Chains A and B, each alone.
Chain A
Amino acid sequence: MSRKLGRTDYTLLIFALAVFLFNSPLNSWWSSLSLPWYMVFVLWAVIIVLVAWNQMRQEHGD
């Protein structure tokens, strides 16, 4: 008997990634790299894109 698997919810995974990037020792590391001022916005944008992607694929899966 075949069984259709539900779509995976990546919400917690993306949240963990965001915590890893913005509130962990990694935070101190990238703070010390003398990155361009906008780099933090790029990271933020990546997280938002991932959240949007996760939401949209879940909506299509409903």
Chain B
Amino acid sequence: MGIELGWLFAIALAYLALLFVIAWCADTGLLPEFIVSNPIVYSLSLGVYATSWTYYGSVGLADRSGLAFLTIYLGVTAAFMLGPYVLKPILRLSIEHQINSIADLFAFRYGGRATGFVVTLFMLVGTLPYISLQIRAVTESIQVLSRTELPDLLALTFCVVITLFTILFGARHLTPREKHKGLVLAIAFESAVKLLAMVIAGLFVVTQIFDSPMAMNEWAKAQPEMLNELYSSGDSGLWSTLLLLAFCAAFMLPRQFHMMFTENQKPKFLRTAYWLFPLYLLLLNLPIIPILFAGRHLSLSMQPDFYVLGMTTTLGHQWLAALVFIGGLSAASAMMIVTTLALSSMCMNNLFLPAALSANQAKDFYSRLLWGRRAIIAIIIGAGYGFYILIELNDGLASIGLISFVAAAQLLPGMVGLLFWSRATQRGFIAGLAGGAALWFLILILPLLSPGYDSQSWFPVDTDIWTLSTFSTLSFNFALFVIGSLITRPSDKEQFAALASLENTGLRTGGYTVGRSVAHYQYALQQFLGNKVATQEMQRAVQETGININDNRRSELRALHDRLERNLTGLLGPAIAREILERQVNNSGKTSNYSPDVRQLERRLRDSREQMRGLTKQLDDLRQYLQTVLKQLPLGVCSITSEGRINIWNSAMRSLTDINDRDAYEKLLPELVQPWGELLNEFALSDDNTRFRQRVSVAGRAATINLHKANIDTTEQQNDTTLAGLVILMEDQTNLHTLESELAHTERLASVGRLAAGVAHEIGNPLTGIASIAQNIHYDIADALVDAPTEELIQGLVGEQTDDILSQVDRINTIVRSLLAFSHADSVDDSPHTHVNAADIAHEALRLVRLSPDTHRLTFKCSLPANAMVNANPNLLMQVFVNLINNACDASPDGATVEVEGSINDGCLLVNTKDQGSGIDLAHRENIFEPFYTTKPVGQGTGLGLSLAYSIVSKHGGRLRVANSETGTCMTFSLPLVTPE
């Protein structure tokens, strides 16, 4: 006794309504997150692979081909075993570039509309037989259960119902970018129902039909021919063919791609699916053989495809029949809903939107997308229904499914190229796919449409049609793909996509065009998406990139461009997203040779770090180490691209300049805040490679810096001109400068101390003279008062002697002024350089030195050219003379002569200070210019004199060196003379 048709229809409607409620609860948050989003639900949702072909058709395939039916699932297991090498890169690419379908993936890799168009069209045609299979499975299962002739409109009614539910599931709102959590949960629920129904049916077979597992095995053993037949397919060509087809179908069928990659909520869920999904398939297939045994045991007179329904109705278990029917309905509806949603997205992005764009009908089309998607869903299911009406099915459900599998396998060459071959090109891919698709149509579809047409007769090989079609189409496809790729050159976009696919860097190379400003992008989007949506998309992209809307730096605009392209890819597919942006910026945007975007590269390397292994990991470790060294280097480093834009600005640079690296990045040097902009730009443009002691004022404090620069030579990097540029190093000399000033002051005080006795003596003599003159005046005035003082007399007496006093005071004043000038403590070396006469300075220094009583035992000679003008700080220069003469005095014996002589040679003044001492040992010569190094007894020298003299001469652009003369030591220093104007 069958089940009434009305009941079956009611059960089907109620079940689909339940699915919708589950999806709605998940979408609206009524179900807790841990149920909606977990790896088990994700793995179960992949069970959309098991359609009514698996559910019903596997028994039929097992009946005809034995255990070969398992290859359809063993192939999937193989694909999931290789998940880390095959599935994971695709998932990464899908997430990184917001790729939503298999057509978008190929359009991304093999650049542009043509690829998306061809893949979509072929997948559409290739999937229609599969959709028709689901319609057939459901209608025939209803026929088996109701045991009545079905009304003609039943299949059409089923298609209408599924269309409505598909729209409810996936096209209620226009959210192609967002994950459909409700859909995933509903499909997972359907997978669970399929498994439950199948397992219960299996248990029913084992316990009710055979009484026990042992009894079933005993029965099977008694059928040796059947067992041999079951295993006979193991060594056939079909076995390997089906394994390959299932391997391809596992991730290249539109519905599998959709559930596995588009609806993936967390990448780590895929790891669980590597083993959980094959386990699900194993459990689902475990009852197939017992059901086949039961069908034969009961000698059911029906297609083996429907044994599972037949045995339940034959034995009168209507509840089980209804459960099995629901399982079959789950299998068919899940496939149709997900496939249609995936195909509708592909058709919209790759067929209709490009057409609208070409016809300039794309203005504000965003609002029309939703109705477009709904219409496409209806058209696809309608086309599936048309195929169902058109074709005659003689070889069971599995044969139609395999037609679609062979179609999906035609994407294998392209996928191999995508994952492993950067040289693959769009033309090669399209040629291969077109060739493979044409053969597929001739071998597998034409015989369906023209009964009596035998495509197998073309081939001189006696093998099954599936092996023949798979081998011939894939061979032809691969050959055209490889040849086409080798004779054409990949475009820049393809090279970028190949790099992104193979290495997941996503870093553009070569020329690149960006818009002029954020507003420019806003305008571009408004033309296509309308004001409201364009604003939303811009806000989203600006928020995600964190850029300032007034920032027009190319690096920032480039980041915005990339983000917009990715976001729009999720909405419109890669071809349209790229075209919308490029069409707008191409005419008025900024084009540049793309210099390495160091920050972007850093970010991507950081994001990809967990996927690195082996040598790549070690290289990244090295990169991180060098980056840390560069970052923590106590030396400012700033690298500049060939375009003059800053792309490295380390932390020392930030501390020195108070300019944040984010603010400096991508700026031209003159755009930096002053004084740095002018200083660095002028230095970068100059011929100097080094500049010492540049004085700058930063935030009210004075700083002293040294600058060095070097060109970045890229000849060793295979002439990669994008890496050429300039590196500027900045040393902070402020502390050293302060220390040197303090040392100079200390040395000056030491010199003053040494001169103090002489000074006292020198001042004492005029003071004694003054005292004597004053005494004389006193006596002269007293005598004059006794005689007859007249004003003229007194004036004559005092006036003459007053002149003597003034003369003596003037002498004292000169000594004191010289001493004060020499010992001036307040940043004497900050005084500006002036043109000074070196001879005057030398004489003044000599006079100072001679104040010391210790020098009275010596004779001094000073002969410098009278017109030797040098550009120097007079105080510092005097310090040099004083230090050198003092050293000469210390080294000379009593009665010796200290000689200071000068000459002019090649634009320089050479000054020799000679003593008549014992000379300097070679062992000491290397060290005498080091601070605190002295050969004098303890307490008699600071060890700073020569060091300071050396430093001062160097600062003045000269050089100080030591040599032994015939009579003693000769210290020679040179100074550049002032060029006469």
Listed in ascending order, the chain A residues whose CB lies under 8 Å from chain B are 6, 9, 11, 14-15, 18-19, 22-23, 27-28, 30-32, 34-38, 40-41, 44-45, 47-49, 51-52, 55, 58-59, 62
Contacts and interface: CB of A to CB of B under 8 A. Distances in A.
Contacts of A27: 234-235, 239
Contacts of B271: 55, 58-59
Given A9-B84, A18-B81, A48 B278 contact: yes
B240 interface: yes
A53 B217 CA distance: 31
A59 to B, nearest CB: 6
Contact of A15 (B70, B78, B282): B78
A59 B610 CA distance: 12
Given A23-B243, A27-B234, A52-B275, 12 more contacts: A11-B84, A19-B78, A31-B231, A34-B224, A36-B217, A37-B227, A45-B279, A47-B81, A48-B279, A48-B282, A49-B275, A51-B80
A14 B85 CA distance: 13
B74 A34 contact: no
Contacts of A35: 231
Contacts of A45: 279, 282
Nearest to B67: A40
A18 B234 contact: no
B81 A14 contact: yes
Contacts of A28: 234-235
A1 B200 CA distance: 60
Contacts of B278: 44, 47-48, 51
B287 to A, nearest CB: 11
Which 3 A-B pairs give the minimum distances between C-beta atoms?
A31-B234, A28-B235, A52-B275
Nearest to A33: B231
A44 B193 CA distance: 23
22 contacts: A11-B82, A18-B77, A18-B78, A19-B78, A27-B235, A27-B239, A28-B234, A28-B235, A30-B234, A31-B232, A34-B227, A35-B231, A41-B282, A41-B285, A41-B286, A45-B282, A47-B77, A48-B77, A51-B278, A55-B275, A58-B271, A59-B271
B275 A51 contact: yes
A36 B234 CA distance: 14
A19 B230 CA distance: 20
B220 interface: yes
Contacts of A55: 271-272, 274-275
Contacts of B228: 34
Contacts of B217: 36-37
What is the predominant secondary structure among interface residues of chain B facing chain A?
Answer: helix
Contact of A62 (B67, B220, B239, B610): B610
A51 B228 CA distance: 30
Contacts of B276: 52
Contacts, number: 85
Nearest to B80: A51
Contacts of B83: 11
A55 B227 CA distance: 36
Contacts of A15: 78, 81-82
A52 B280 CA distance: 13
B174 interface: no
B289 interface: yes
Contact of B289 (A6, A22, A37, A44): A37
Interface residues of B, number: 38
Nearest to B216: A37
B81 A6 contact: no
B282 A44 contact: yes
Contacts of A18: 74, 77-78, 81
B817 interface: no
B613 interface: yes
Contacts of A58: 271
A52 B272 CA distance: 8
A43 to B, nearest CB: 10
A2 to B, nearest CB: 16
A22 B84 contact: no
B67 A22 contact: no
B85 A22 contact: no
A30 to B, nearest CB: 7
A37 B220 contact: yes
A29 B240 CA distance: 15
B227 A44 contact: no
Contacts of B70: 40, 44
Nearest to B270: A55
Contacts of B227: 34, 37
Interface string B878-889: 000000000000
Interface string B228-247: 10111111000110010000
B195 to A, nearest CB: 15
A3 B29 CA distance: 48
Contacts of B274: 51-52, 55
Contacts of A41: 282, 285-286
A32 to B, nearest CB: 7
A51 B271 CA distance: 10
B674 to A, nearest CB: 50
A32 B228 CA distance: 8
A56 to B, nearest CB: 9
A62 to B, nearest CB: 7
A11 to B, nearest CB: 6
A11 B85 contact: yes
Interface string B72-100: 00100110111111000000000000000
Given A11-B84, A48-B278, A37 B230 contact: yes
B234 to A, nearest CB: 3
A31 B282 contact: no
A18 B73 CA distance: 13
Most buried by A among B234, B278, B286: B234
Nearest to B278: A48
A22 B231 CA distance: 12
Contacts of B231: 31-32, 34-35
Contacts of A40: 67, 70
Nearest to A36: B217
Contacts of A38: 286, 289
Interface string B265-295: 0000001101110110010011001000000
A19 B272 CA distance: 22
Contacts of A48: 77, 275, 278-279, 282
Contacts of A36: 217, 220
B252 to A, nearest CB: 19
A19 to B, nearest CB: 8
